[in-house]
């Protein structure tokens, strides 16, 4: 007995001495942090030889900036989450991340186990898989059902014309506006306005032809969208500044958001939350009523950095987490975001979460949620979309079609 105990202790000492420690950066989101801390604690207990240290992505303008700064300074973690496809393309381009298909059959097995064979195809960068997608958040419009009811509506507006009609009854151009049309001035805000409107109006067509490196949104659909944005600003149905929490304060009737806002909204504005209605993004008036409306998928995943000495160990951890569907259930519980798996509505394990009206609404749109273009110049392109397209429309600087035309030319130059 004594011998066994001694050898066990010795074994433990040897294991701890030889243990490797991997640094894992998680999204700066308390709910996601909670999930990762829980699973990492379980892993660290089960695998004393491979210890994971969880750190939140350092504070910066965006996670991308923090990661790029760390790479530049030679302080990149071993692996991190919160990576969107365009950023992964940029990182893959400079050789900063490691292709996961290098793990061969183990990677394929993981994809099959997690039921994400089709999803992973959307993440192929130059024939390789660099990202393991964790979740896919369809962007939906939230509407103030209570205020719309008072205006005599039983459903949220569907088309641009519907929105103009509601605006005539509600917006006064000073303290009340119909909806938040433009989300912000950061490059990533374009995912949640123009790109979302384009996916919705075009039936999910890519806004950039990645293979030809050409802009697609200069077409008729794009023209309808710029006209809509311009009209909303011109008629003062929306404004450049709407103040803080305009949706919850009743300044606006509608806004686009993702499931990450659900828990916060429930805690901060418990009286408003039960009154919320959901809808797909607005579409042009000629969009068929029976055709599904597509939206943008805010989808993020995990990557392993090329500089890591422990790539195999990192992959082992990723496999361990995502081979177990219970961990995806835990993810839903903690974050309310739909995991990037294809069996969400069919797997009985996730059935109970469908009782939550928010989660159900988001899950229903997963099949119609399109991720961003896999282009290495995402930040430049979307910054140009902000300055050449969105801001001129917001400030009514020129005719909408001329603005679009100029923006398309500028962005094509960037892509060339």
Partner 1 sequence: MSNCSKLGKKERAFGYSVIFPYLAYTAVFWGYPFIWMVVLAFTKWNYFSKPQFVLLSNFLRIFTDSLVIRIALNTLNFLAYLIPMVLFASLFFAMALTKVKFGKTFIMLSFLVANVSSGVAYSLLFSNLFSINGPINRLMDSLFGFTIPWFSNPQLAVFSICLIITWKFIGYYGLIIYAGLLSIPQSIYEAAELDGADKKTIFWKITLPLLNPSLITVTVLAITLTFGIFTEPYMITGGGPMQRTTTFLIYMYDTAFKRIDPSYATTVAIVTALVSYALVMLIRKFFEKEVVFV
Segment 131 to 170, residues that bind partner 1, using CB under 8 A:
none
Segment 250 to 269, residues that bind partner 1, using CB under 8 A:
251
The verdict on 412 binding partner 1 (CB under 8 A) reads no
- Nearby residues of 226 by Cβ (< 8 Å), 6 or more positions away: 389, 393, 400, 401, 403, 404
Single residue of 31, 44, 54, 65 touching partner 1 by CB under 8 A: 65
Segment 301 to 340, residues that bind partner 1, using CB under 8 A:
306
Which span (48-56, 134-142, 237-245, 271-279) binds partner 1, by CB under 8 A?
A: 237-245
User: What distance in Å separates the CA atoms of residue 205 and residue 212, rounded to the nearest whole number?
Assistant: 15
User: Contacts with partner 1: how many residues (CB under 8 A)?
Assistant: 32
Residue closer to partner 1, measured from CB, 240 or 354? 240
User: What distance in Å separates the CA atoms of residue 19 and residue 28, rounded to the nearest whole number?
Assistant: 27
Single residue of 22, 40, 64, 180 touching partner 1 by CB under 8 A: 64
Shortest CB 96 distance to partner 1, Å: 6
Please list the residues that pair with 301 across neighbouring strands. 83, 133
Shortest CB 180 distance to partner 1, Å: 13
Single residue of 243, 274, 292, 367 touching partner 1 by CB under 8 A: 243
Which span (15-23, 205-213, 243-251, 312-320) binds partner 1, by CB under 8 A?
A: 243-251
* 123 φ, ψ (degrees, to nearest 5): -110, 15
The verdict on 94 binding partner 1 (CB under 8 A) reads yes
Which span (66-74, 113-121, 215-223, 347-355) binds partner 1, by CB under 8 A?
A: 66-74
The verdict on 241 binding partner 1 (CB under 8 A) reads yes
In angstroms, how far is CA 90 from the centroid of its own chain?
17
Contact 357, 266 (CB under 8 A): no
Shortest CB 241 distance to partner 1, Å: 4
Residue closer to partner 1, measured from CB, 177 or 198? 177
Segment 364 to 383, residues that bind partner 1, using CB under 8 A:
379-380, 383
Single residue of 26, 90, 216, 231 touching partner 1 by CB under 8 A: 90
Residue closer to partner 1, measured from CB, 150 or 397? 397
Shortest CB 191 distance to partner 1, Å: 16
Query: Which DSSP letter does residue 305 get?
Result: B
Structure tokens given for 297: 């998928």
User: What distance in Å separates the CA atoms of residue 119 and residue 317, rounded to the nearest whole number?
Assistant: 21
User: What distance in Å separates the CA atoms of residue 52 and residue 33, rounded to the nearest whole number?
Assistant: 14
Burial of residue 320, with CB atoms counted within 10 A of its CB: 0-12 exposed, 13-18 middle, 19 or more buried: middle
Shortest CB 394 distance to partner 1, Å: 8
Radius of gyration of the chain (CA): 23
User: What distance in Å separates the CA atoms of residue 229 and residue 400, rounded to the nearest whole number?
Assistant: 9
Segment 386 to 405, residues that bind partner 1, using CB under 8 A:
386-387, 391-392, 394-395, 397
Structure tokens given for 384: 């140009």
Single residue of 30, 48, 61, 367 touching partner 1 by CB under 8 A: 61
User: What distance in Å separates the CA atoms of residue 85 and residue 372, rounded to the nearest whole number?
Assistant: 7
Segment 174 to 213, residues that bind partner 1, using CB under 8 A:
185-187
Residue closer to partner 1, measured from CB, 182 or 215? 182
The verdict on 92 binding partner 1 (CB under 8 A) reads no
Contact 51, 22 (CB under 8 A): yes
For 380, other C-beta atoms within 10 Å of its C-beta total 15
* Strand extents, DSSP E, 97-139: 124-125, 128-129, 132-138
**The pairing of beta strand 20-26 with beta strand 50-56:** parallel
Structure tokens given for 72: 């530049």
Single residue of 239, 283, 314, 389 touching partner 1 by CB under 8 A: 239
Residue ranges in contact with partner 1 by CB under 8 A: 61, 64-65, 68-69, 71-72, 90, 94-96, 185-187, 239-244, 251, 306, 379-380, 383, 386-387, 391-392, 394-395, 397
């Amino acid at each position: 007995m004594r011998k066994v105990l001694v050898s066990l202790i010795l074994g433990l000492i040897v294991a701890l001495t030889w243990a490797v420690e991997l640094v894992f950066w998680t999204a700066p989101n308390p709910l996601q942090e909670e999930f990762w801390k829980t699973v990492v604690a379980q892993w660290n207990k089960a695998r004393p030889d491979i210890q994971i240290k969880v750190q939140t992505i350092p504070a910066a303008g965006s996670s991308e900036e923090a990661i790029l700064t760390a790479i530049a300074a030679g302080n990149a973690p071993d692996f991190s989450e919160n990576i969107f496809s365009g950023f992964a393309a940029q990182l893959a381009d400079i050789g900063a991340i490691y292709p996961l298909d290098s793990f061969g059959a183990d990677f394929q097995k993981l994809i099959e186990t997690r039921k994400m064979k089709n999803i992973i195809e959307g993440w192929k960068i130059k024939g390789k898989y660099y990202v393991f997608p964790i979740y896919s958040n369809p962007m939906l419009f939230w509407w103030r059902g209570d205020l719309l009811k008072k205006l005599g509506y039983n459903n949220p507006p569907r088309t641009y014309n519907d929105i103009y009609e509601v605006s005539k009854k509600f917006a006064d151009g000073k303290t009340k506006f119909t909806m938040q049309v433009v989300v912000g001035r950061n490059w990533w805000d374009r995912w949640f306005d123009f790109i979302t409107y384009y996916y919705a109006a075009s039936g999910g067509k890519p806004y950039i032809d990645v293979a030809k490196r050409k802009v697609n949104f200069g077409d008729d659909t794009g023209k309808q969208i710029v006209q809509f944005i311009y009209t909303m600003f011109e008629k003062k149905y929306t404004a450049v500044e709407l103040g803080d929490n305009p949706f919850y304060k009743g300044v606006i009737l509608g806004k686009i958001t993702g499931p990450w806002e659900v828990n916060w909204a429930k805690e901060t504005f418990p009286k408003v939350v039960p009154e919320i209605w959901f809808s797909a993004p607005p579409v042009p008036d000629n969009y068929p009523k029976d055709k599904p409306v597509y939206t943008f998928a805010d989808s993020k995943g995990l990557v392993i950095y090329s500089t890591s000495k422990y790539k195999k160990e990192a992959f082992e951890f990723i496999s361990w987490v995502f081979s177990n569907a219970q961990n995806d259930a835990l993810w839903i519980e903690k974050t309310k975001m739909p995991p990037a798996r294809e069996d969400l509505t069919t797997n009985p394990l996730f059935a109970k979460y469908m009782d939550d009206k928010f989660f159900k609404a988001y899950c229903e749109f997963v099949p119609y949620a399109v991720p961003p273009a896999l282009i290495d110049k995402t930040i430049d392109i979307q910054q140009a979309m902000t300055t050449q397209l969105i801001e001129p429309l917001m400030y009514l600087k020129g005719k909408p079609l001329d603005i679009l035309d100029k923006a398309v030319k500028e962005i094509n130059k960037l892509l060339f």
